[in-house]
């Protein structure tokens, strides 16, 4: 049973009334169903088994009140203590959750091991996120696409070489890096269904060129707490198609 309530609630938009402050001991995560950054916070809360109420935001028609939660108007935002505590940024929220719920801490306690996990996440993100963005933005221009694929393949080569064991945590169980980088890999996985000419396969993604990564992706995808915090391939791919047509996609599949 998932600890995330409302993960598929309708996105709130301009004109919608603000939700009441969360009740005492309630954690709320402002999200958007297909946002990989928000998914990080959802996965972390799910794995740490923090009962959380999810409110989705329409990022193209943001409610005015949402800027009082996050001055950038971005997701995710974590809200608790009856609305008195607000934390933003997808790489910061997980650390905060580990600090306030140390009994389910995911990051290592050792200072050196902890900082190495944070550095590894940033190194992987700095390659994967912009590479995906370049492909996605070029998706309507087939001529441009093939050169954009190169940066994805390069990012995957680096990701494969940085994966030394079964998980990026360096232990026999997934950790901070595994949970937080997974959404970026999932987005590329969705591309394999969207684009016939995409150079990576859907089956056993990302394919025989990346043996460790293929095992890794399969293992993370199979974790129930990760699945509970993630959108299905069907909905993910469908939402991308709506986006490509310029149609609203936040509530796709609902």
Residue spans of beta strands (DSSP E) within 98-236: none
Residue closer to another protein (CB basis): 84 or 245: 84
Tell me if 241 contacts another protein by CB under 8 A: no
Tell me if 112 contacts another protein by CB under 8 A: yes
DSSP secondary structure letter of residue 227: H
8 A C-beta contact, residue 184 and residue 135: no
- Name beta bridge partners: 27: 52
8 A C-beta contact, residue 58 and residue 18: no
Find the Cα–Cα–Cα–Cα dihedral 183, 189, 193, 198, rounded to 10°.
130
Residue closer to another protein (CB basis): 95 or 251: 95
Residue closer to another protein (CB basis): 96 or 198: 96
8 A C-beta contact, residue 12 and residue 57: yes
State the minimum distance, in angstroms, from the CB of residue 151 to another protein: 17
Q: Which two tokens stand for residue 119?
A: 């550095």
Tell me if 79 contacts another protein by CB under 8 A: no
Residue closer to another protein (CB basis): 136 or 176: 176
Burial class (CB in 10 A: 0-12, 13-18, 19+), 226: buried
Query: Contact region for another protein (CB under 8 A) — 115-123, 192-200, 203-211, 239-247?
Result: 115-123
Residue from 9, 19, 83, 118 binding another protein (CB under 8 A): 118
> Which residues are part of the catalytic machinery?
35
Residue from 5, 82, 122, 150 binding another protein (CB under 8 A): 122
8 A C-beta contact, residue 56 and residue 29: no
For another protein, how many residues bind (rule: CB under 8 A)?
A: 17
Token pair 């943001």 is found at 62
Residue closer to another protein (CB basis): 74 or 235: 74
Longest dimension (CA), the chain: 54
What is the footprint of another protein within residues 81-110 (CB under 8 A)? Answer: 85, 87-89, 92, 95-96, 99-100
Binding positions for another protein, rule: CB under 8 A:
85, 87-89, 92, 95-96, 99-100, 111-112, 114-116, 118-119, 122
């Amino acid at each position: 049973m998932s600890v995330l309530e409302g993960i598929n609630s309708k996105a709130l938009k301009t004109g919608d009334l603000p939700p009441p402050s969360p009740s005492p001991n309630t954690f709320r995560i402002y999200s958007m169903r297909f946002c990989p950054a928000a998914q990080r916070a959802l996965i972390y809360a799910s794995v740490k088994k923090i009962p959380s109420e999810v409110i989705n935001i329409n990022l193209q028609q943001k409610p005015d009140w949402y800027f009082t939660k996050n001055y950038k108007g971005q997701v995710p935002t974590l809200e608790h203590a009856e609305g008195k505590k607000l934390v933003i940024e997808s790489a910061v929220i997980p650390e905060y959750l580990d600090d306030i719920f140390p009994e389910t801490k995911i990051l290592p306690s050792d200072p050196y091991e902890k900082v190495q996990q944070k550095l590894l996440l940033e190194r992987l993100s700095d390659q994967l996120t912009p590479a995906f963005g370049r492909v996605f933005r070029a998706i309507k221009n087939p001529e441009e696409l093939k050169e954009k694929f190169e940066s994805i393949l390069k990012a995957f080569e680096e990701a494969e070489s940085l994966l030394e064991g079964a998980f990026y945590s360096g232990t026999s169980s997934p950790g901070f890096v595994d949970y937080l980088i997974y959404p970026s890999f999932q987005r590329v996985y969705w591309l394999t269904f969207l684009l016939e000419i995409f150079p990576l396969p859907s089956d056993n993604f990302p394919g025989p060129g990346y043996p460790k990564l293929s095992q890794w992706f399969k293992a993370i995808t199979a974790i129930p707490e990760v699945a509970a915090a993630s959108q299905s391939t069907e909905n993910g791919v469908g939402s991308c198609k709506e986006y490509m047509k310029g149609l609203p996609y936040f509530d796709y599949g609902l």
